[in-house]
């Protein structure tokens, strides 16, 4: 039984929970972070000295933190060969797209765009900075759009860990009130993701509690 600490409106927790859902794993999740607090307690700090979510404990194993490391652990331990290949070159192909998505898309969206649009009061927003961040993000999304015009999923023919790292931010990208570039392959890909039960349950989560102003 997996034990998970993290609120369901955290994008990193959503990536973890989507993975858990896709792999069909049993779990218990404890709300932690943001309005729930709990991350500054001695017990939580002993599990994760960074005091961030998510944290995962799998049975009697030591607790794990850092979302990418947790996802790779779950993929290696519980995923099939299509989701996280055993062949080194095939796995590296998945891994490089997963890293690309995390570094370029998730990082380029969450704070520079989502926080500025949703988690910043109207009086404190910087439209010029948001526009610049969107332009930088959509430069990377164009890479994904070209890739997805040729392949159904980010790393190729099948759904993999790379799609978790990439796709978990797309719900908010398409949901918030921003201008968006015309990226038809990306939109078709996102529409397919929304048909996945685990995506609908763990990623398409209301985030009203995060709104400021």
The answer to the question of residue 165 being in a domain is: yes
The answer to the question of residue 208 being in a domain is: no
pLDDT value, residue 41: 97
Summarize the confidence of residues 41-70 as an average pLDDT.
Answer: 98
Are residues 129 and 64 part of one domain?
no
Does residue 77 surpass a pLDDT of 90?
yes
Asked if 163 and 170 touch (Cβ cutoff 8 Å), the reply is no
Output phi, psi for 2, to 5 deg.
Answer: -80, 140
Would the pTM count as exceeding 0.85? yes
Which of 78, 97, 119 is where one domain is finished?
A: 78
Residue 175: pLDDT band by 50, 70, 90 thresholds? very high
Residue 160: pLDDT band by 50, 70, 90 thresholds? very high
Does residue 66 surpass a pLDDT of 80?
yes
Are residues 191 and 93 part of one domain?
yes
Does residue 213 surpass a pLDDT of 90?
no
Domain range enclosing 137: 88-199
Prior bond of 38 cis (ω within 30°): no
pLDDT in tens, 103-138: 999 999 999 999 999 999 999 999 999 999 999 999
Which of 46, 78, 110 is where one domain is finished?
A: 78
Please report, for residues 35, 143, 160, the alpha-carbon distance to residue 117 in angstroms, rounded to integers and kept in the order given: 19, 24, 30
Mean pLDDT of the chain: 97
Could you give the dihedral angle defined by the CA atoms of residues 203, 166, 169 and 152, in that order, rounded to the nearest 10 degrees? -70
Cβ neighbours, 10 Å, residue 213: 10
CATH number, residue 67: 3.40.30.10
The answer to the question of residue 207 being in a domain is: no
Instruction: Report how many domains make up the chain.
Output: 2
Summarize the confidence of residues 23-45 as an average pLDDT.
Answer: 97
Asked if 161 and 19 touch (Cβ cutoff 8 Å), the reply is yes
pLDDT value, residue 5: 98
pLDDT value, residue 184: 98
């Amino acid at each position: 039984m997996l034990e998970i600490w993290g609120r369901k409106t955290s994008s990193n927790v959503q990536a973890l929970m989507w993975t858990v859902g896709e792999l069909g794993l049993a779990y218990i999740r404890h709300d932690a972070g943001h309005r729930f607090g709990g991350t500054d307690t001695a017990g939580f700090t002993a599990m994760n000295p960074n005091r961030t979510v998510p944290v995962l404990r799998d049975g009697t194993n030591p607790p794990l933190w850092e979302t990418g490391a947790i996802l790779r652990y779950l993929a290696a331990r519980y995923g099939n060969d299509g989701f996280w290949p055993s062949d080194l070159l095939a796995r590296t192909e998945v891994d490089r797209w997963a890293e690309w998505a995390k570094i370029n898309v998730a990082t380029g969206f969450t704070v520079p765009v989502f926080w500025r649009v949703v988690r910043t009061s109207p009086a404190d927003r910087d439209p010029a900075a948001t526009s610049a961040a969107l332009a930088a993000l959509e430069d990377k999304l164009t890479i994904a759009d070209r890739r997805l015009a040729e392949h159904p999923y980010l790393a190729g023919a099948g759904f993999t860990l790379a799609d978790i790292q990439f796709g978990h931010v797309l719900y908010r990208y398409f949901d918030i009130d921003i201008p968006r570039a015309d990226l038809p392959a990306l939109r078709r890909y996102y529409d397919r993701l929304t048909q996945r039960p685990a995506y609908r349950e763990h990623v398409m989560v209301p985030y009203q509690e995060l709104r400021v102003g």
